[in-house]
Amino acid sequence: MTDAELDTLANEILREILTENIGWVRSAVQELSQTDSGELYPTFEGTSTEGHGSFVCKLFLLATVKTLIGSCEDIFDSFDLEVSDRESGLTKVKKISEGHDPKSRSESIRMMAECATYHVVTTFRSRLGDLLDETVADSKLMAECLLGAVVGQTLADAIPGKMTGDARAEIDKAVKRVSDKKQGMLVYYLSHLPFILAKSKVGRPSGSKKPERKKKQDKAEFESKIEKTVRALFHTLGRKPFKYEVAEALGIGGLSSTGSDSRINSFNNKLTRLGIDYPAMIKRLNLHE
C-alpha cells in the first residue's frame, strides 16, 4: 500500500467511524470537530465517579488509524490456520492470506482496521476516566510512602539500625487492580465475537506454571490412560484405532451443533502440553492386526 493509498484509507475509515456509527460513538464523543486540513477529531469529556475531578481531551486519530492499518496488514499476512485430518491425525498449517486475492485481502484488512478504530473511539472516554482514577490512587500511595520515608528518617536519627518500610504489598494490589480491570474489559468485548474463547476457565491463574513434579505425574497418568484405551480399541475394532477414535474414547473434544470437530485439535493440544510423543507410544505398543 502506497503512502497516498494509506492516507486515503485512513481518512475514509476515520470519517466513517466518527460520522456514521451514531449510537455508541455519539454516547462516547461529546464534540466532533475538523482541522483546517480536513481531519475529523473527537473531543472527550468526563467526570470521575470517585470525585477525582474532570477531564477534556481532544484526540487526533489519523496517525493512529494509519498505524492500525499497518498492524492489521501484518496480522492478516502472518495469520496461520491449522487444519487437522481426523483420521490420520496429520496437521497442516496454512496462512489464511493464501486463500485471498488482492481485493478480498484489502477488504479484510479494512474490516479489521474499522473494528480496531471503532474500539479506540468507543472506549477512549472510559479509559481516560480510569487513567484519572488510577493516577490519583497511585498518588495517594506516593504520599503514604513519603510519610513513611520521613518517619523512617526521623527514627533512624534517634534509633541506630536499619529501618525499611515495605511498599511491595501495596504495589501488588495496585497492579492486580489494574490487571483485573483490563481483563474484565477485554473479556467483555471479545466474548461478543463468535468462535472466540475470551474467559479463562476456573483453575490455575493465567500465566502461572504447574509444578514440575505435578506435570510429570499428569504425563505418566495420561500416557497410561492412552495405552489402556488404545489396547481396548484395538481389541474391539481388530485394527489400530484412528487418533480421533482414541480422543473420543478418552472424552476429549467432540462434535459441535454446527458440525465442527474438535477431537483431534483438543487431543493434540493436550499431548503437546504434557510432552507426549503419540506416534512413538503407538509404535511402542507393538500392535499387530
Same domain, 12 and 115: yes
User: Strand 80-84 and strand 54-58: pairing?
Assistant: unpaired
Task: Determine the Cα–Cα distance for residues 118 and 124; give it in Å rounded to an integer.
Answer: 10
In terms of Cβ atoms closer than 10 Å to its own Cβ (0-12, 13-18, 19+), residue 182 is exposed
The pLDDT of residue 214 is: 82
The residues, any chain, with a CB within 8 Å of residue 171's CB and separated by 6 or more, are 141
- Residue 79 near residue 93, CB atoms below 8 Å: no
Last residue of a domain, one of 118, 138, 158: 138
| Res. 109: pLDDT tops 70 | yes
The pTM for the full model equals 0.63
Per-residue pLDDT tens for 70-94?
999 999 999 888 777 777 777 788 8
The pLDDT of residue 117 is: 94
Look at residue 234 and tell me if it is in a domain: yes
In terms of Cβ atoms closer than 10 Å to its own Cβ (0-12, 13-18, 19+), residue 166 is exposed
Look at residue 169 and tell me if it is in a domain: no
Task: Determine the Cα–Cα distance for residues 131 and 85; give it in Å rounded to an integer.
Answer: 48
The pLDDT of residue 201 is: 63
Look at residue 190 and tell me if it is in a domain: no
Look at residue 75 and tell me if it is in a domain: yes
Per-residue pLDDT tens for 146-170?
998 888 888 877 777 676 788 889 9
Look at residue 198 and tell me if it is in a domain: no
Same domain, 10 and 127: yes
Same domain, 134 and 216: no
Q: Report helix, strand or coil for 264.
A: helix
Look at residue 170 and tell me if it is in a domain: no
Look at residue 36 and tell me if it is in a domain: yes
Task: Determine the Cα–Cα distance for residues 15 and 45; give it in Å rounded to an integer.
Answer: 20
Q: For residues 209-225, give the mean pLDDT.
A: 84
Structural domain count, the chain? 2
> Where in the sequence is the domain holding 226, given as residue range(s)?
212-285
Task: Determine the Cα–Cα distance for residues 281 and 246; give it in Å rounded to an integer.
Answer: 13
The residues, any chain, with a CB within 8 Å of residue 282's CB and separated by 6 or more, are 230, 240
Same domain, 109 and 219: no
Look at residue 162 and tell me if it is in a domain: no
Task: Determine the Cα–Cα distance for residues 176 and 166; give it in Å rounded to an integer.
Answer: 17
Same domain, 133 and 217: no
Same domain, 9 and 134: yes
Same domain, 31 and 122: yes
Same domain, 103 and 227: no
Confidence grade of residue 57 (pLDDT, cut at 50, 70, 90): very high
Same domain, 25 and 131: yes
Last residue of a domain, one of 94, 120, 138: 138
